[in-house]
Structures are given as C-alpha cells and as structure tokens.
Amino acid sequence: MEISPSRFIAIFTVLVAAFSFALLDAFSFLALLLVCAAVTSLVCDRNESYACRDNSIILGVFLIIEFLAFKFLIPLEPGAFPMIYLGAMVFGAQLIFCIATFFTYMYRPIVSLKLTGRFQMHYSDSILMWLFAYEGVVCLLALLENTLRNSSPELHNITFVYDNFELLTYLARAGMAGMLFTMLVTSKNQTVEREGV
C-alpha cells in the first residue's frame, strides 16, 4: 500500500510535534531541523531534485540566521529592557524572519531560474511558504498581545498566545520537519509539477 505525500506529512508532523514537544528543548529541536535540512539538501542534489534541494537550503539558512540573531543580537534577559520592548523585539524579529522567508519561498522558482538557468516546482514550495505564513500570524498575534498586556494594567491577564507560543510554533516547525523528511523520501521518485530551462 502506497501512502500519499500529504498523508505522510500529516502523520510525520504529528509524531515529530509530540516527540519534540515532550522530549527536546528548543536548541535540540533546532539542531535536529538543521541536520534534516542538510541531509535533505545533499540527497536531493544527488537525485537532481533541485526544488527540494533549494527549499532545504532556504530553510536551513533561515534557521541559522534566526538562531544567530537571538543568540547574539537580541537580548533575551528579562531585565535588559522593559517587557513591552523586549516582547516587541523578540516577536517583531520573528515576524520579520517569517515574512522574509514567506516571500523567499514565494519567489524561489524565479530566483532559481535567474541563478541556475532552470527551475523546478514542487509541492514543498507552497507548503513551506504557508507554514511560515502560519508562524508569522502566531508571531503577529503574540506581538499584539504583548503590546496590549504591557501597555495597560487592566489587560495584564491576556496571556493566551504567550502561554501557548511554544506549542503553536512547534506545530509549524514540526510541519517543516515533516516536509523535509517527505522531500528526502520522495526526492528520487518525485513528480515535478513544472520544469523550465
């Protein structure tokens, strides 16, 4: 019995989300995603699945930039800034990363065509693009909630997105891991939707 890519992604995403949320901290999960992105890009390049290779590289680069920004540029210590500014920097930076990556995936075929003279379309283009859109919406809601919560004492109890932020973003990241694994497994037998030279 052959399983469809969409069903495989859904099953793998649920498993990764449950496993990572229960057992891994944020750094370990990031390392797992980076290893998956690197392996997927190498295997897809070997199998001449250039769309999957490019999508894996874009995801890996985004994750590295995000990690470096939060490790070295954005102060995460609670006393460094008032909470309204700290939350605005954290959620605002993540929102900017999500928007930039969303548009990178949207225009990836055009960039690939200009850089390499060819392009391939793959269903991972739109799935990864919409996963970053979802994560961007979560970041936008967290940014708005942070602003409301810290600007008025009466609204200090509004913490729904803040309390569930890790879970909500893990769902998107688990979807990305599922997409990477699906690209890895299907890269040899992929059906290219469109290819141009």
Per-residue pLDDT of the chain (197 residues; tens, 9 = 90+): 566 766 766 776 677 666 766 666 777 888 888 998 999 899 988 888 888 888 899 999 999 998 898 888 887 777 777 888 888 899 999 999 999 999 998 988 888 788 777 777 877 888 899 999 999 999 999 999 999 998 888 888 888 998 999 888 888 888 888 888 888 877 766 544 445 54
Gap between the Cα atoms of 29 and 177, Å rounded:
10
- pLDDT of res. 91: 92
Other beta carbons within 10 angstroms of residue 84's beta carbon come to 14
Say if 175 falls within a structural domain. yes
Which residues fall within 8 angstroms of residue 66, CB to CB, at 6 or more apart? Answer: 94, 97
Gap between the Cα atoms of 125 and 68, Å rounded:
25
Instruction: Tell me the torsion sign for CA atoms 123, 126, 132, 135.
Output: negative
Nearest residue to 181 via CA among 48, 62, 31, 13: 13
Gap between the Cα atoms of 57 and 183, Å rounded:
12
Say if 83 falls within a structural domain. yes
Say if 195 falls within a structural domain. no
Confirm if 136 and 92 have CB atoms less than 8 A apart: no
Q: How many domains does the chain have?
A: 1
Confirm if 132 and 105 have CB atoms less than 8 A apart: yes
Range of the domain at 35: 5-189
Say if 196 falls within a structural domain. no
Say if 162 falls within a structural domain. yes
Say if 194 falls within a structural domain. no
pTM above 0.75, yes or no: yes
Say if 87 falls within a structural domain. yes
Say if 154 falls within a structural domain. yes
User: b/e string for 114-129 if b means 16 or more Cβ within 10 A?
Assistant: eeeeebbbbbbbebbb
